[in-house]
Chain A
Amino acid sequence: MAYELNEDQQDCLQELINVAMGQASDQLARYLDTFVFLTVPNIELVNGHGLSSTLESNTDSTAVVSQGFFGYEGIRGEALLVYQHKDSDRIADLLGYEPGELSVEEQLIDISSILTTTFLNVFASQIENQMSYSAPKLLAHTQDTVSDYIKQVSFDWEMALKVNINYQVTDYSFNCEMILLIPAAAIENIKMVIDRILEDY
């Protein structure tokens, strides 16, 4: 099966994501009361092996949070939020909690959930859909456990659509990478949605 998006589909998805990113960063900025910068997203197809070597090659990663999402018309996938050591110092501060009110693990999970759901909610409304989410899970939270975890998981799937977005909050020197992964079975569904949008256009 050909999973590749054609040029129109790719452009359309890119545009949908760009718009969603703009709105999401606006909402986040208002909630967090500081500027949130999102980099231009990178969209590509990956296989399981490719993803695990990408994750493994990033040896600075100290935490990974996963959160599943699912909407109508078979749109589903998993969001991975990847943090580096220096990123996680001031998350409680950024989120507006008092120091000591919540553990580092909870801070990571909380900010991950906020970034993921804010972006995907806006994205869903762009495609006239609505998302539900699983509870976010901290897969690993030290450098050793991240690489151990990646080694243990076989990533035994053929193909996934991967969207990378980088979040930066310069005032709090916060930085993290969001990796959205749409599994093979859902790629067809998202292509159908994109085609419908292209037709209406």
Chain B
Amino acid sequence: MNSNIELTQVTEQLNSGILLLDLDLNVVSWNRFLAVHGDQKISAAKGKSVFDVFPELPKNWFERKMASVVQLGTPSFCSWEQRHHLFELPHTRPITTDSHFMAQNCTFLPFNTDGKLTGVCILIEDVTDVCHYQTMLKQTMFELEQANRMDGLTRIYNRKYWEESLAKEFVRAKRYGNQLSLIMFDLDNFKQINDNYGHQCGDMVLTETANRVSDMLREVDVFGRYGGEEFGILLTETSASGAKEVGERIRTILSNTPITFGQQTISFSASIGISSLNTMQTRYEDLISEADNALYSAKTSGRNQVCLAPSLRMCS
């Protein structure tokens, strides 16, 4: 038996594409995989420029890639993770994946005849399956990560993630000398709402609070549920007076519009404490306890108030 003919039989049945180009990037030959998936006859493609046969190829990129193989005599690679596909080919799972074209791993190999470089051999592997499952895994990981950060009821950050963010921002602001302010606020007489109208009503107040405040914050602000009816907002690059303005707006949007629960209209409000980064604080917890002190002042001076931390000294 002729081992070359045997090998050709094998390559014809291979579930990977083999494409042979000459040094001018004209098609020399390909195996059955490419003929079938590319739906083109080799007789028609032979001798034509690869860019005429596969017009979807990014020409500049492809030429530079080939140049590295030819000039350095080294293999080169192209993974689906960076480029989903090079050749627009159909694939074997058109029904059960949402991938339009076959995801591919391509390998470019220098091709020698009698010890002399005469072309480039391109191997094309169908990795649609791998790509599909990897994409699903990534999506799931992302969702898990999100779920792990979120408060189940209010859909804002939970305490753990919020506090981690505060710790990070605290260190960063200290290092770069940036401004950083913290708002802590607590719903007034929340226990009474729960007692009078039930926990479902209480939950609705919490959700409504989270929604209203989220809508008025900047993308960069970090808003989280600190505990029961207490919330925290981290305001990066914001001075105490800026934070006070935000605090006032929060106080107003919460207390100005009551919520409707069944037949009932229920007014609610929050007491708000504000602290800002100064040179005395050494730990992020200092920032929290100063805002908490201010929050306490807001409560004792009649609720529905915004107070600044003792170091900033002011109530309104």
Chain A residues engaging chain B, CB cutoff 8 angstroms: 27-28, 30-31, 95-98, 101-103, 105-106, 109-110, 113-114, 117-118, 121, 132-133, 135-138
Contacts and interface: CB of A to CB of B under 8 A. Distances in A.
Given A102-B82, A109-B79, A30 B71 contact: yes
B82 A106 contact: yes
Given A103-B82, A106-B83, A135-B107, A113 B76 contact: yes
B116 to A, nearest CB: 15
A109 B77 contact: yes
Contacts of A114: 68, 72, 74, 76
B82 A117 contact: no
Contacts of A27: 71-72
A135 B71 contact: no
B2 interface: no
B73 interface: yes
B76 to A, nearest CB: 6
14 contacts: A27-B72, A31-B72, A96-B64, A98-B60, A101-B61, A103-B82, A114-B68, A114-B74, A114-B76, A117-B72, A117-B74, A118-B74, A136-B77, A138-B81
Nearest to B109: A132
B105 interface: yes
A101 B82 CA distance: 12
B177 interface: no
Given A103-B82, A106-B82, A133 B60 contact: no
Range, interface on chain B: 10 to 19
B75 interface: yes
Contacts of A105: 81-82
Contacts of B64: 95-97
Given A109-B77, A118-B74, A121-B74, A101 B58 contact: yes
A101 B77 contact: no
Interface in B52-89: 58, 60-61, 64, 67-68, 71-77, 79, 81-83
A31 B66 CA distance: 12
B168 to A, nearest CB: 11
- Of residues A102, A105, A109, A135, which shows the largest number of chain B Cβ atoms within 10 Å of its Cβ? A135
Nearest to B70: A31
Interface of B: 58, 60-61, 64, 67-68, 71-77, 79, 81-83, 105, 107
Given A27-B72, A30-B71, A121-B73, A135 B60 contact: no
Nearest to B125: A135
A158 to B, nearest CB: 30
A97 B76 contact: no
A31 B58 contact: no
Contact of A113 (B71, B73, B77, B105): B77
Contact of B60 (A31, A101, A118, A121): A101
A135 B82 contact: no
B72 A118 contact: yes
A135 B61 contact: no
A133 B81 CA distance: 18
Given A96-B64, A135-B107, A136-B77, A109 B72 contact: no
Nearest to B68: A114
Contact of B75 (A28, A31, A117, A138): A117
* Closest 3 A/B residue pairs (Cβ): A117-B74, A106-B82, A135-B77
Given A31-B67, A114-B68, 14 more contacts: A96-B67, A97-B64, A98-B60, A102-B82, A109-B77, A109-B82, A113-B74, A114-B72, A114-B76, A118-B72, A118-B74, A121-B73, A135-B105, A135-B107
A9 B61 CA distance: 43
A103 B83 CA distance: 9
B72 A135 contact: no
Contacts of B72: 27-28, 31, 114, 117-118, 121
B268 to A, nearest CB: 41
A194 B82 CA distance: 39
A117 B68 CA distance: 11
A98 B64 CA distance: 10
A108 to B, nearest CB: 10
Contacts of A109: 77, 79, 82
Contacts of A118: 72, 74
Nearest to B65: A110
A31 B69 CA distance: 10
A93 to B, nearest CB: 12
A62 to B, nearest CB: 17
Contact of B61 (A30, A102, A133): A102
A102 B74 CA distance: 20
Nearest to B58: A101
A138 B81 CA distance: 10
